[in-house]
Structure 1
């Protein structure tokens, strides 16, 4: 169930419309996968507890009724009292646990920031001041931890004291009603009380898990009901079926379909296979939006948009995966050494690879943190070129490179491909 939910959420995130993406950040989507999907999967451990608790208590009370007669009513009332005592304790425990985790997060965040900027603290002589801040945060955390532990101790007391309380109430009722207590009845009743202990204790956890799972189900279902990208924005033609790579006829596109004015109006564009087309304009004139329209990411109000063949896209901001340089360029394709070397040469990456200690096997950090902006941009261009697509869409690919490198990229990468 968990694997299925993660797959559904991932597939949904790939097809979300632009308006749906505005309301859900990537961190929220990760929480859907890691927390909510896992919680629903864990609920399978508790799914039978509700009817099992009812069955166990019913059978236990039936056994008591056979042994002790009407005194079993006292056992039933005592069981209800113990169950009700678990409700506020469980709520308090959950509340204190949340507060404890929040205070722990605040303390860990402050500690990591202090350690990360220790040089500044040493130079300014602020060690004792920040030590006092950490101590204060630790006191707050310690206070919530103390409350949580005390509540846990009370819950444990109720758990271990439940059989004694129920047995005292039951046997006391037997004495008041004059029911004879024989050794066989007493031992049978004590064993039954022990059986009652586990469902009484687990009931609160089950109810809490049901509430948490319902919240997770509602969150995931609301996410899966969000609007997707329009499937009919782009009419995709098979490779070689037309001499036109891109054709737009009277196209009107808008990021927000409810807006009265379209973002791009009356677009008419025809690009033949093999053509090199440059779209120029001022900042905010819609150049990137035009490329997004061709990719099918902008909703279409009217018109015709046809694309023939495969596409490769280079975004304005470099997108780099954590991993090896070679993996970022191949991007799941098989290694063709001749084409790979040609792509490295076209993108001026030969010298960069030679300088690195492990060449193209060098592992780059999160989002290419140990690469310069120009290197990340050139790796992104190399990835697109290696795909050997029919249509290449470049969104300001030379913004992060110098003039000499940009000229080489334009001649060797753009014109040659």
Structure 2
């Protein structure tokens, strides 16, 4: 898909709002037609032999009425424009974010989070701006067509001089395309580099301080900002140069029109009414020509933004950006979307585990299998190979092994967070085509090795928009042994925990992530080194409660902690990305040297 198709698809993404917006701004740009004709009739009546059709005050009243009507239409136009451009910008951001979230973790974005922010902010803003200006271009072209018919009927030669600057502007914009896009691309890239550096600095404050690297980091940041200043200066100068060319071209055309009008008036072929009409329209034609040049500039700059946004998709079709999807901006839109999902048999959010959209049970877990599961990291070649495992309903399986053996890689590949290179995952004997979308609540819930917490309240970090139905939150807090900690917090569940949960201890952060998982009542719980930061007593309580309260859910746990290994139904020992041994703790203690080292603490 090229930029023209992208632009066209965005215009059609919200057809009702775009039509209303285009009609409003067309009316705004057409309104000057009528005051111009009234002014011409008035001046002609003063100089010709006919009597004045309108008195002076009647003319003033008509002009004031036209001005008030235009002000009202401009207000309506701004309302429709804000609604339309907001929806277009949110649609692109929503589609881009959805695509990133669906990608396996290793391929989510091809750049740093800071650079991705630049794409979401600057490139989408440029797209939004261009789409918004398209209604101005449409309205101005309509005004140009109507006014040119009127002016040609008076004097074709004069009309040619009125619109000649437009041709010059279009040619100038085309000639400046490559340089304009080059400067805009450099400006966007330098901005992304600065944003990325800020993100990295915020995420590595302690490492920078420990290494005493503050001066070097600040120096690098200064270099990036200098580069950004230079590229943005070139970009701004190029844009202002084009605007200057556009406006000065219009001024030159205006001067030629005035000279030619004076000559024609002396010859008697041009009346004062004709002159007043040309002068009145000239202001709006001038605005039209300048604004049309601005629209062309925005469109050229949007080409750069489109390429950058398409780059984040990493080979996926660019149609993803402009796909028609609901935005849920108000209750009616959400209700309409839910009705459509219900009609399509899609499982709505907030349903209990085991329920589909129409309340009928979906297939609960009986047996989860992985056959020949393989994934290797492109940069190192390390990973997992030919993994075979099976998890039955209600089972408790532990994956263990030395550091670097592939434990986390295994669970992430199983859940679709990493794209498997080979092998198959089956749910109750049926192949899972898209594990990343399939293994979500209520089928599966996952706690990562490093909990991802946000600067929000503890309650919102756990629920993440999920409904607290039937005391689920209270049960999850109890199972995760977090209830006593909450009682000691001054604001309890409403405590704001800070960026990445900095106000919590390591153990509290892990148990917060566990509560987030447990509140979703899933068929399969996957824990990646959940209790590594817990003291012995808290760890004992957590697993004791987990065993007692998990019901029929299957558990897959990555750990080397003896308290968990002793409770496991089945243990898988990994080494160098493959399964070295498996069985119960008693069997492995008797048969596996690697497991004995882990059990007795020779290796952790």
Counterparts in 2 of 1:372 and 1:54: CA distance versus 1, 3 Å: same
Tell me the residue number matched to 1:168: 258
Q: What SS does structure 2 have at the residue aligned with 1:202? A: helix
Correspondence for 1:390 among 511, 523, 529: 523
Q: What SS does structure 1 have at the residue aligned with 2:400? A: coil
Counterparts in 2 of 1:72 and 1:416: CA distance versus 1, 3 Å: closer
State the 1:395 CA deviation.
0.7
Tell me the residue number matched to 2:541: 408
Distance in structure 2 (CA, Å) of the matches to 1:311 and 1:214: 41
Higher relative contact order (CA 8 A, sep 6+): 1
**Is 1:302 matched with 2:392?**
no
Correspondence for 1:327 among 442, 456, 460: 460
Deviations 1:189-234 (A, max 9, x none): 3223233211122122111121233333344445456459xxxxxx
State the 1:397 CA deviation.
1.0
State the 1:60 CA deviation.
4.4
Tell me the residue number matched to 1:231: none
- Length-normalised TM-score, structure 2: 0.51
Distance in structure 1 (CA, Å) of the matches to 2:475 and 2:425: 37
Tell me the residue number matched to 1:124: none
Whether contact under 8 Å (1:252, 1:266) holds in the other structure is yes
Tell me the residue number matched to 1:286: 406
Counterparts in 2 of 1:3 and 1:342: CA distance versus 1, 3 Å: closer
State the 1:65 CA deviation.
4.1
Correspondence for 1:317 among 436, 445, 450: 450
Distance in structure 2 (CA, Å) of the matches to 1:95 and 1:264: 45
Which stretches in structure 2 are left out of the alignment for 5+ residues?
A: 1-87, 206-221, 318-360, 430-441, 551-604
State the 1:371 CA deviation.
1.7
Distance in structure 2 (CA, Å) of the matches to 1:49 and 1:57: 12
Distance in structure 1 (CA, Å) of the matches to 2:538 and 2:461: 20
Distance in structure 1 (CA, Å) of the matches to 2:376 and 2:263: 74
- Length-normalised TM-score, structure 1: 0.70
Distance in structure 1 (CA, Å) of the matches to 2:256 and 2:493: 72
Distance in structure 1 (CA, Å) of the matches to 2:237 and 2:522: 62
Tell me the residue number matched to 1:45: 132
Distance in structure 1 (CA, Å) of the matches to 2:503 and 2:249: 55
**Is 1:215 matched with 2:304?**
yes
Which stretches in structure 1 are left out of the alignment for 5+ residues?
A: 117-132, 229-236
Indicate the RMSD between aligned Cα atoms, in angstroms.
Answer: 4.8
State the 1:304 CA deviation.
4.8
Correspondence for 1:251 among 362, 368, 372: 372
Distance in structure 2 (CA, Å) of the matches to 1:82 and 1:39: 21
Distance in structure 2 (CA, Å) of the matches to 1:362 and 1:44: 42
Distance in structure 1 (CA, Å) of the matches to 2:506 and 2:478: 18
**Is 1:3 matched with 2:98?**
no
State the 1:34 CA deviation.
3.8
Distance in structure 2 (CA, Å) of the matches to 1:82 and 1:385: 63
